[in-house]
Structure 1
Amino acid sequence: MNTISTTESFELGVCYYPEHWPEELWADDYRRMVETGFTIVRMAEFAWTLFEPEEGVFQFDLFDRAINLAHSHGLKVILGTPTATPPAWLTERYPEVLNVTYDGVTLQHGMRRHYNYSSSKYRELCARITRQLAQHYGNHPGVVGWQIDNELNCEINVFYSESDHQAFREWVQAKYETLEKLNEAWGTVFWNQTYNSWSQIFLPRPTPSPMQPNPHQALDEKRFISDNTISFARIQVDIIRELAPSQWVTTNGLFGHLDSHELNDQLLDFFSYDSYPQFSSISTDPQEADPLLDRSWSLSLTAVRSISPNFCIMEQQSGPGGWVNRMDMPSPKPGQMRLWTYQSIAHGADKLLYFRWRTATMGNEIYWHGLNDYHNQPNRRVREAEQIGRELAVAGKHIVGTRSKADIAILRDYDNEWDGEYDVWHGPFMWQSNKEWFKALQKRQIPNDILYMRSKTTLEDLIPYQVLVYPHPAIMSDETAELLDQYVQQGGTLIFGCRTGYKDTRGQCYMRPFPGAARDLCGITVEEFTMVKGTRLPTSIRWGSDPEALTGADAFNDILHVEEDTVEVMGTYATDYYAGKPAVTRNKRGKGEVWYFGAVFHADAALKIIDRLHLHSPVAEWLEFPSEVELQIRKDENNSYTFLLNFSEEPATVQLKEQRTDLLTGSTLSGSYTLEGFGVLVLY
């Protein structure tokens, strides 16, 4: 498993819903898809009732015709299992399959993702429809692969049906074996929460303080949801592997409370993602300094690459986006759709499908525009797609199979992400510091990876990186600290932020000086710490002796105390009652070094560290370009492709000190080159 393609061509395509359109449109749609340069289509992920109009009665005529016609036009088909939208007959007859909210409200038919993963009846019916589809299409020459469900844990990622409470009870019993161990892990002696029967165990439920469960129980809840989701997906995957062994399996995701790395490792041939860069633009904090807008979507694509180095974009934004009552995103400007396409490719996509072929005329997504508008007449988005199709028909075969290359990685882990959803003393800081470090590296034109720390992570996974940034890992085991120490001892540079290392894997605080498990690595202790909010003024950090070298520290501050002679103070607090105290330290350890930054990162602070580490762009010797342009590199043993993506609407001047060829046009470039607004170069 975990291989994206057995072909040497780039698969470009589109999502298509033949059931939404008169059948007389299909042939013309397929013809124009091929003329656009498309080779692959996805369909059927929301079509359960069409396959099974009543329980146990199956029909395939509509999709037989749609798939056969697509195949006759030379298009390959990705078939979705339709389990994200159970039929009305199913939810009426078996209401136990419906999801239930934290407050006990049963979610009803009328949207999508209104089911729970734990219902034995729902699992049975999902297995049956999957088996019917796999038996019918498992040897169809036009079907090349399967998408399991659709966007697991999207819309809602918590589950409180009676089946879920029972499944959680069984999950914790298997994990802890005894109530004594569970009570210890959850710290139930606090507030007299001790359990003396397994029947007393539930998922978090409403309490006198709304949405305020035991934090250790809440962390296990997220772990359970992830395991349960993977268990649900496995049912379908096992059936497809049995009945359609020559067809690949994927699913589209990156949603909450799901260990997507484990999902991919256990079940998928490769991971798929739905790429909508304007989500980043419309969700930007108005207080954020110098936001990256749609460019910051590259950070999400970097996370996808950590799951599957070569992945599929199952849905690529191709028009203005929005449902009837939310997500009102503007239309991409001329060139932006092409820019976003190559943004996905630069980060590792080897297959890419636009969402969707034609904008729906009914339902919640009538404003989630596709390539074609309602009227089905030519438009500039279609023309832009045709240009991309022509380019990738030639260039795609060179790109497929190459992998993105970076010397710096930002570390994450699921325990801290899930614990940080509830714990405001570290959770929000991780997302801010991730974004600010990414922004700083982008300004210096230095690509980075995201690397998830997992039980499977080895020293060999860490060694390829010159620098690792682990912003706020509150939960850190001694085993993780030891692995990171091995990385440092052999020559690596490791950078921590405040709130590091003070919790164990249960989410309980160590009875050790902060930073707990990371104390020996850092050579410091935390003398005191404080939130910076309310009436407290933002604090500043002074770097070295320069009174003008100040950066902000305005969310949380660790006041540091040097414990080892190997530690050098790199910055001190410039204001507040702890002025003059260490704020930033560097500890020489073995052949490497460990930095501790006592605050939450802003880009300007990250830039100070980048400069002091003398980090440079990997193309600095032969290429110069402004900070508005993103750099990504994909390479294999023989070839290297440098992607330049201009996220500005204005032209950018690129200086080439060596002659290069643009893969997309075949043009030879040297000296000064003007990269148009939203323009793309792929140099080799």
Structure 2
Amino acid sequence: MVKKLVEDKIKLGVCYYPEHWSEELWEDDYRRMKELGFTYVRMGEFAWTIFEPEEGVFSFELFDRAVAKAHEYGLKVIMGTPTATPPAWLTHKYPEVLNVTQDGISYQHGARRHYNYNSETYQRLSSIIVTKMVKHYKDHPAIVGWQIDNELNCEMDVFYSEADHKAFREWAKAKYETLDNLNQAWGTVFWNQTYTSWDQVYLTRKTVPNSPNPHHMLDEKRFISDSTISFAKVQADILRKHAPDQWVTTNGMFNHLDNHKMTNELLDFFAYDSYPNFGRVIEDKSEKPLRDRKWSWNLSIVRSISPNFAIFEQQSGPGGWVTRMEQPSPKPGQLRLWTYQSIAHGADMVMYFRWRTATKGTEIYWHGINDYHNLPNRRVKEVDKVSKEIQLIGEKIAGSSYKAEVALVTSYDNEWDGEFDKWYGPYASKSKDAWIKAFQYNHVPADAVYLRNETTINELKKYKVLIYPHPAILTKQQAELFKEYVKEGGKIIFGCRSGYKDETGQTYMKAFPGYLADLVGVTVEDFTRVAPFEEVPSINFKGENVLEANDFNEILHLQSDDVEVIGTYSNAYFEGKPALVKRNYGLGSSYYFGGVFNLEQASLLLKEFELNNYQDQFELPEEIELAIRHNDGIEYTFLLNYSERPQEIIVKKEFRNILTGNIVTNKHTLNPYDVLVLES
């Protein structure tokens, strides 16, 4: 079942921490929130000690007043369960709840997310506080929903406490049933790692050399995800039992967590925390870096979890902790741009982080809409402008769907295994970035698809083209699914290092690309990495373009007469050998590339696929992102200018800009960081 946010119109809100501020400020804060057109206020997720100042003693007075005052101003409250930050009394009395490094060193109280999911003590105490809170607030007219914890697996996504080792042992027993099955799955016969007793089974620990068993490592990631979901389920079950009319979600998207599974099993919809400024400060020396525009792809992944979703933290100011992440302030227009970036990709609720910049603690430089002094500033004015626009268009856009003909495919197994396996993990990252840039700079809207055992042919048939760059782990079942997709008219492309591993991460005793060979019509006769000191081989693409073949080269052997060679190698010992092939299969076609994709290659292949880049409607410079949401036969085209310079666009037919009501046609100048939302 698809889990998505259901709103009758686009709504805005803000994150607020009443426990941080004098109560004298609350009324003025809420009044100004309402004047800005906000619907929601989110609170409570870091306030365990306020709710339970000592074990078994509960106090709701402060938040009762804060929620009541918000209700006076017609604001709806989203309450967070406070388990992301256990109280000092808890960690002092029960040190077993703390997380532990792989070296066995315990983390200490003083920051956040320093607990472990599998501590029975922490689960028990978390259950108590969540139960007390939901029973207290289940009938409050202001409270509409709950956020479980805060940013699960943020800051820390590996766990090695004694409780985790014990839980992993039980998890492995349940999965494999016998030690023989476990030893087979982990390939423990190699280096004499065979387990002869369950007591010998732990999460990975430091080894000499420091290279743990890769199949063990893959299962560790699966276990961490299951542990996280299990911890969230404890809370979700309590919330649903006592407050069935209030929705349940959680926020953030971090590593070693199957967010699709968690959402499908536990949540009403998924919520994301969007901070595009990260993209502006992370050093990126690649060709044509996307910077803040890269967040559009993050939002596409979120959309694969919930087609319509919420943003629980939308960046609204310069970001920084006292120890890291010194980010510049959003330039005039960028706060509005990033809000529409989220909405263009499926957000029907956007809440800004935060109302006012904290005056204390680690995040005193993580700025909100308001500064410390509470005086008017340009960020408040920009939010006000967005809010007024949203009130005009919100009913049109809410509930509409993002429109894409192409999807970039991945899987949690390959992402987690690729963290450790340097023979394809880094290539997957490079190729993914190349394709995302190709979509963005060629104005091709794209979706993300996470391949799962439950994935159906109907889910794939929504797309004309699927791109799965380097799926090392690929099962026979998945290969059959792709064959059916292509037979029915789809097009699919794979890159090097595809299809050679099973679900354990062990390699098949099959010619590469394993179960894909029948679909693509080739096997790999030879392969090599490109050494740093070597001249990079070239690819002759259709005799028209000469492309670099960086990083890795597979030399392909044709297994069928109907395979068309559309790219051959040159400038290498495998001169003239196939590098890129196409095979018609049923009504569709498959492509196999024996290398790692770059932007130029991906852009040329997009032209092969004849995808809609809306050239019949617009001429757009690369600096503009094009995104489409549609509903009841009406399309809403978002044009987003990520440049600090004006951009001239050509509009080839008449559209109405629903932000202003004006007709847009012919030449139009989009100002720096400006946005158009066009109705056709």
TM-score by length of 1: 0.98
The residue type equivalent to 1:214 in the other structure is N
2:646 aligned partner: 651
2:194 aligned partner: 194
8 A Cα contact 1:168 1:224, kept in partner: yes
8 A Cα contact 2:5 2:308, kept in partner: no
Give the superposition deviation at 1:5.
4.6
Whole-Å separation in 2 of the counterparts to 1:9 and 1:337: 20
Give the superposition deviation at 1:545.
2.1
Aligned counterpart for 1:604 among listed residues 600, 607, 611:
600
2:276 aligned partner: 277
8 A Cα contact 2:3 2:307, kept in partner: no
Aligned counterpart for 2:407 among listed residues 382, 406, 409:
409
Give the superposition deviation at 1:674.
1.3
* 1:554-599 residue CA offsets vs partner (Å, 9 max, x unmatched): 1111111111111111111122212211111111111111101111
* 1:446-466 residue CA offsets vs partner (Å, 9 max, x unmatched): 100000100110000000100
8 A Cα contact 2:5 2:310, kept in partner: no
Structure 1 SS opposite 2:564: strand
The residue type equivalent to 1:560 in the other structure is L
Whole-Å separation in 2 of the counterparts to 1:259 and 1:510: 25
Correspondence 1:373-412 to 2 at 5 A: 373-412=371-410
Tell me the number of residue pairs that the alignment of Structure 1 and Structure 2 aligns.
679
Structure 2 SS opposite 1:541: strand
Whole-Å separation in 2 of the counterparts to 1:332 and 1:203: 43
Q: Quick check: 1:492 aligned with 2:479?
A: no
8 A Cα contact 2:335 2:382, kept in partner: yes
8 A Cα contact 1:2 1:269, kept in partner: no
Whole-Å separation in 2 of the counterparts to 1:187 and 1:3: 38
Evaluate the alpha carbon distance shift between residue 114 and residue 429 of structure 1 in structure 2; reply closer, same or farther with a 3 A threshold: same
Q: Quick check: 1:664 aligned with 2:659?
A: yes
* 1:41-82 residue CA offsets vs partner (Å, 9 max, x unmatched): 100100000000000000000000000000100111100000
The residue type equivalent to 2:620 in the other structure is F
Whole-Å separation in 2 of the counterparts to 1:417 and 1:679: 35
1:135 aligned partner: 135
8 A Cα contact 1:403 1:634, kept in partner: yes
Give the superposition deviation at 1:250.
0.7
Structure 2 stretches lacking a partner, 5+ long: none
Whole-Å separation in 1 of the counterparts to 2:627 and 2:283: 23
Give the superposition deviation at 1:9.
2.3
Whole-Å separation in 2 of the counterparts to 1:589 and 1:256: 36
The residue type equivalent to 1:63 in the other structure is F
Give the superposition deviation at 1:6.
4.9
Whole-Å separation in 2 of the counterparts to 1:5 and 1:506: 35
Whole-Å separation in 1 of the counterparts to 2:249 and 2:26: 26
The residue type equivalent to 1:397 in the other structure is E
Aligned counterpart for 1:325 among listed residues 313, 323, 326:
323
8 A Cα contact 2:179 2:195, kept in partner: yes
1:681 aligned partner: 676
8 A Cα contact 2:618 2:652, kept in partner: yes
8 A Cα contact 1:14 1:40, kept in partner: yes
Whole-Å separation in 1 of the counterparts to 2:152 and 2:178: 32
1:221 aligned partner: 220
Structure 2 SS opposite 1:370: coil
Q: Quick check: 1:312 aligned with 2:310?
A: yes
2:74 aligned partner: 74
Give the superposition deviation at 1:20.
0.6
Whole-Å separation in 2 of the counterparts to 1:84 and 1:536: 50
* 1:361-398 residue CA offsets vs partner (Å, 9 max, x unmatched): 11110111111111111000000000001111121111
The residue type equivalent to 1:594 in the other structure is S
Whole-Å separation in 1 of the counterparts to 2:281 and 2:577: 39
Which piece of structure 1 moves more, 294-303 or 47-56?
A: 294-303
Structure 2 SS opposite 1:68: helix
Whole-Å separation in 2 of the counterparts to 1:413 and 1:281: 27
2:444 aligned partner: 446
The residue type equivalent to 1:270 in the other structure is F
Q: Quick check: 1:631 aligned with 2:629?
A: no
8 A Cα contact 1:440 1:607, kept in partner: yes
1:573 aligned partner: 569
Evaluate the alpha carbon distance shift between residue 522 and residue 4 of structure 1 in structure 2; reply closer, same or farther with a 3 A threshold: closer
The residue type equivalent to 2:500 in the other structure is Y
1:88 aligned partner: 88
8 A Cα contact 1:4 1:350, kept in partner: no
Whole-Å separation in 1 of the counterparts to 2:622 and 2:500: 37
Correspondence 1:6-155 to 2 at 5 A: 6-155=6-155
8 A Cα contact 1:566 1:589, kept in partner: no
2:172 aligned partner: 172
The residue type equivalent to 1:250 in the other structure is T
Aligned counterpart for 2:556 among listed residues 557, 560, 563:
560
8 A Cα contact 2:6 2:399, kept in partner: no
8 A Cα contact 2:468 2:492, kept in partner: yes
Q: Once the two structures are aligned, what percentage of the paired residues are identical? A: 58
Q: Quick check: 1:456 aligned with 2:457?
A: no
Structure 2 SS opposite 1:49: helix
Whole-Å separation in 1 of the counterparts to 2:120 and 2:531: 48
8 A Cα contact 2:311 2:349, kept in partner: yes
Whole-Å separation in 2 of the counterparts to 1:432 and 1:82: 38
2:204 aligned partner: 204
2:261 aligned partner: 262
The residue type equivalent to 1:170 in the other structure is E
1:294 aligned partner: 292
* 1:207-227 residue CA offsets vs partner (Å, 9 max, x unmatched): 1122x1100000000000111
Whole-Å separation in 1 of the counterparts to 2:495 and 2:464: 18
8 A Cα contact 1:2 1:264, kept in partner: no
Give the superposition deviation at 1:320.
0.5
Aligned counterpart for 1:366 among listed residues 364, 367, 384:
364
Aligned counterpart for 2:524 among listed residues 526, 531, 546:
526
The residue type equivalent to 1:27 in the other structure is E
2:582 aligned partner: 586
1:240 aligned partner: 239
Whole-Å separation in 2 of the counterparts to 1:215 and 1:5: 38
The residue type equivalent to 1:228 in the other structure is S
Whole-Å separation in 2 of the counterparts to 1:349 and 1:5: 9
The residue type equivalent to 2:31 in the other structure is R
Whole-Å separation in 1 of the counterparts to 2:572 and 2:151: 47
Whole-Å separation in 1 of the counterparts to 2:335 and 2:166: 46
Structure 2 SS opposite 1:674: strand
Whole-Å separation in 1 of the counterparts to 2:542 and 2:25: 69
* 1:110-159 residue CA offsets vs partner (Å, 9 max, x unmatched): 00000000000100000100000000011100001110000000001000
The residue type equivalent to 2:449 in the other structure is L
The residue type equivalent to 1:535 in the other structure is F
The residue type equivalent to 2:589 in the other structure is E
TM-score by length of 2: 0.99
Whole-Å separation in 1 of the counterparts to 2:15 and 2:547: 47
2:501 aligned partner: 503
8 A Cα contact 1:101 1:160, kept in partner: yes
Whole-Å separation in 2 of the counterparts to 1:645 and 1:664: 13
Give the superposition deviation at 1:663.
1.4
The residue type equivalent to 2:581 in the other structure is T
